[in-house]
Amino acid sequence: MTRVAAIQMVTCADVARNLTAAERLLGEARERGAVVASLPENFAFMGHDEADKLAVAEDDTGGPIQSHVSGLARTLGLWIVAGTIPLRVPGETRVAAACLVYDAAGRRVARYDKIHLFDVAIPVATSATRSPPRCGPAGMRCACPRRPARSGSPSATTCAFRALPPAARPRGRVVLPAVGLHRAHRPRALGDAAARTSHREPLPRVAPAQSGFHDNGRETHGDSMIVDCWGRVLARLPRGSGVVVADIDLVRQRELRQNFPTLDHRRPRREPHPDRHSARPVRPAVTARGGARDGRPARAGPRRAARAGRLDEDRVARILGDVMGHAVDYADVYFQLVREESWSLEDGIVKDGTHSIDHGVGVRALAGEKAGFAIPTKWCSRPCSRPRTRHAPSRARAARVARRLAVAGAARPVLPLDPVESLGDAEKVALLESVDREARALDSRITQVMASLAASHDTILVLASDGTLAADVRPLVRLNVSVIIEHEGRREQGYAGGGGRFGYGEFLASDRWRELVREAVRTARVNLEAVPAPAGTMTVVLGAGWPGVLLHEAVGHGLEGDFNRKGTSAFSGRIGQRVAAPGVTIVDDGTLAARRGSLNVDDEGTPTQCTTLIEDGVLRGYLQDKLNARLMGVAPTGNGRRESFAHLTMRA
């Protein structure tokens, strides 16, 4: 048995600090019996942009980073796979991400350069562009190409060599490192799949990773692992810097490679016979944001969501056509998958933690102002062969629905963030414990601290008879802090909370959690010294923030379209009239970035917008969903909201 190690790090922009950390972790790996250790991608340097790499890049003949790693290999008697090191490329203004391998004597014995075979541009990360497969000086081979991921997110580094000519494929390798698998903007499950997939050969995988927050603002997920030939995880480290080790049976591996000589099974490519195969149209390349490479906005996001859920658009169109075959004006199908979690701390102890997954589909039909609603207990994505009675009308309606769906879709990109996975469980607990310590340190009179974290990841897909085809991903997090303060027999409470459509990391990156703790303690102190309020009528000045809820309850519901259509609102029939004092303007804005009430599309697939309701005291409009907008002859405003797939739409 051979013991191997995967090193997990939190790299910064200081090369010396990174090399010191790598030396400590490699020493730990050697103490634990490892004879081979693999460092993560960018282990020596992670700057703010690509230009920073040029300042620390080294020649292929040697440099400070290479000398340090070589010396460590020789001193520790350890084979080291040195993640990626920035090496200069002669005649070019870029660097090569080179993985160098050193034997136990400190000699460099192998190199491969990472190859990008796709273009990608992501708002939370640097851009990667296509780089052609190339070979460097004699004896150097480029390996480990990246392959595009169907999810539309950046692909994980996969250990496949099918893009290289047969002569360039490594055949003597016994342990294949996989680097750079888990970044914050990449689904964690995608990295898992890449590390555990055997691809063409039965090879073990050693997958070191970065974990934590870096100087350039990037967050990485960690989850380093060692995987055997069959995809079984032998050891893993979810978060934080550290070392994982495992034993690999090289004798057994050699036997497997002899029994499964997959690289010798490549068949010559055959051209399709013109009489038996029709040429397939080439689809335009799509970037990770869902946009075409020519910069035009993409409308493929909802369709990718449908394909990911194994939904047949034609099948849905036929179902909508069947519904529209009755005397109805409109029908829609609403798919939802939501993951939720919560953590709560009291008296310095995490006393509760929950996690839930819910999914389902709701089918709605509208006729006039009446609505019919059903929740299928089982969704069949394959066409049913059962004969139907309304052939002509339903087929015609289905054809019209299909034509509408073919040109519809949401142009806004969805958020590729899963807040539930944005922080490890241990880090979530550590955050709550930090809240407890901070609150007690601010005031010795604090006798009790209660804190909670909550997150949800909501994915929806809407298909409707009017041609609507829209998808949305809705991350949401919240941190609540409550404290009890006691002085001279009097006890009072203070509270603060905040959140939005981002990951848990936002609380840590900006020290926002400390602001919430300070606000909760401040409120408790004010309450401790407060005196009873006098009775009577008085002027109240409302600040920004939650007082908006009072405005919503006072006039917001009265501005919903259905109440005004029915004549039950105080604002009915008063469009264009003064209903408030001059200078008063009220808007409903569902497009504010990262805010709790903001969405890309509402639950009917209508893009959200900034709707002016009252302008300078004059009534300008109402909040409309599709049903009421159709009945009033106006456009919907993107205010159709559902509690879940199991509930009808309401105005909000």
Q: Where are the domains of the chain?
A: 2-111+169-265, 301-529, 548-651
User: Residue 392: what pLDDT?
Assistant: 39
Rounded Cα distance between 243 and 36, Å, is: 12
Query: DSSP readout, 490-504?
Result: EEEEEEEEEEESS-T
| CB-CB contact of 82 with 177 (8 Å) | no
Which residue positions in the chain have pLDDT lower than 70? 115-202, 257-313, 378-416, 651-652
- Domain spanning 2-111+169-265: which CATH class is it, in words? alpha beta
Q: Is there a common fold for 2-111+169-265 and 301-529?
A: no
Rounded Cα distance between 322 and 314, Å, is: 12
User: Would the pTM of this model clear 0.85, i.e. be above it?
Assistant: no
CA 134-137-141 angle, 5° bins: 50
| CB-CB contact of 205 with 230 (8 Å) | no
CA 516-522-523 angle, 5° bins: 90
3-state secondary structure of 398: helix
Residue with tokens 């005196």: 531
Nearest to 44 by CA among 34, 55, 33: 55
| CB-CB contact of 183 with 221 (8 Å) | yes
- CA dihedral over 190, 192, 193, 194, signed as positive or negative: positive
Nearest to 319 by CA among 249, 378, 251, 381: 381
Rounded Cα distance between 71 and 77, Å, is: 10
**CATH entry, 301-529, from 3.40.50.720, 3.30.2290.10, 3.40.50.10860, 3.40.50.300:** 3.30.2290.10
Taking only Cα atoms into account, the Rg of the chain, rounded to an integer number of angstroms, comes to: 30
Query: Residue 102: which H helix or E strand, with range?
Result: strand 95-102
| CB-CB contact of 432 with 482 (8 Å) | no
User: Residue 527: what pLDDT?
Assistant: 95
pLDDT tens for 199-239 read: 455 678 888 999 888 877 788 888 888 888 777 888 888 88
| CB-CB contact of 397 with 321 (8 Å) | yes
User: Residue 157: what pLDDT?
Assistant: 35
